[in-house]
A and B are shown apart, each in its own frame.
Chain A
C-alpha cells in the first residue's frame, strides 16, 4: 500500500461525494472536513469500508457549541487509519431546534457511549442509537451542561457572597 497524503484522501472523498465537502482545512496537519449531517455518516462508512483507506478505528466523538453560528451545535469525530497511520477529523453542524444526526453505532459499537456522552452534554440526538440516555449527569437533569449558556457553578448556592470576590 502506497503512502496516501491528506490530499489523496480528500480527492477520493471529493470523487465519491461531490459538493459535500463544505469546508476543508488542515490545522496542525490533521485533515479536517466539515460536511452536513446527511453526509457525515456516509463518509464515515465509506472511509471504513474502502480497502485503501481503512479508517477502521473510531478515536472519538464529541460535540462543540458555537452560540453565534447559524448552525450552533457541532458533532466532531476523529477517525484513524492504522494502516496509513493517519487521522481525519469530520464535522457536521446542526440547528439548535432540531439537533439530529444518525448514529454511528452500527459501524462502531464503541460509538455507543461517546454518543451518549455527547447527548448528555450538548443535547445532540443520535437517531437510531440503541440506548440514548444520559450517562454522566443525573437522569432528572433537564439542561445540557456543556452548552455555553449553562453556568459552571451551581446557581443554587447561597453560601457564596459574590461581593467578596469582585464578581
Chain B
C-alpha cells in the first residue's frame, strides 16, 4: 500500500465517533452529571437484543445482523438468545395465538429494565392476517415500547427502530420502573 493511502486509511480508522458526554458541570479533575443521564448513556449503547424471530421479519433481521447493515454498530453487538441476559425483546414476525403464551413467558423471564420492540406489521397489529389464529398485535399480551412499520420493514427501518429504543433508554428516569404509573401499566397486562 502506498504511504499516503495507508495514512488515509489510518486516519479513517481513528475517525471513530464517540458519544457526546451528557450535560453536566465540568472542572479540573471532575465531571458531575445526573445519575439518570450517565446510566441512560451506558444502557442505550449496550442494549442486548433478544431476537424473537418467527417469520419473514426474522430474515430481514438476519440481513440487519449481516455485514451490510451491521446492527453491532449500535451497541447491539451480542444478540442474547437467553431472555435472562437480554434488555430488548425484538418481536419479529407473526405471533399466532398458540405462540402468545410463549411470548409472554419470554417477556416475564427477562429482568428489569426491559424494553420491547414490535417489528413489522404482524407483530404490531396482526398485519394482513386478520384471522382466527393470529394475535392482532403483541400489545394484547405484553407492553410495547417501539413499533416498526413495514411488511417486512427494511433493515434501515429496523435500525431506526433500535435507535428510537436507544432514545427512550437514554432519557428514562432511573425511578420509572418503581413508579405507580409503571405498576399500573404492568397490572393492565396482569404482570406483577
Q: Interface on A for B, CB 8 Å cutoff?
A: 136-138, 145, 150-155, 157, 159
Contacts and interface: CB of A to CB of B under 8 A. Distances in A.
B95 to A, nearest CB: 13
A62 to B, nearest CB: 18
Contacts of A150: 132
B127 to A, nearest CB: 14
B97 A138 contact: yes
Categorize the interface residue count of chain B: under 10
A153 B130 contact: yes
Contacts of A157: 136
B131 interface: yes
Contacts of B136: 154, 157, 159
Contacts of A154: 130-132, 136
Interface in B43-65: none
Interface of B: 97-98, 130-133, 136
12 contacts: A136-B133, A137-B133, A138-B98, A145-B133, A150-B132, A151-B132, A152-B131, A152-B132, A153-B131, A153-B132, A154-B136, A157-B136
Name A's interface SS: loop
Contacts of B97: 138
A153 B136 CA distance: 11
A150 B132 CA distance: 9
Contacts of B131: 152-154
A138 B132 CA distance: 11
A137 B130 CA distance: 16
B183 to A, nearest CB: 25
A21 to B, nearest CB: 38
B8 to A, nearest CB: 58
A145 B132 contact: yes
A136 B99 CA distance: 11
A156 B133 CA distance: 12
A141 to B, nearest CB: 9
A129 to B, nearest CB: 22
A137 B132 CA distance: 10
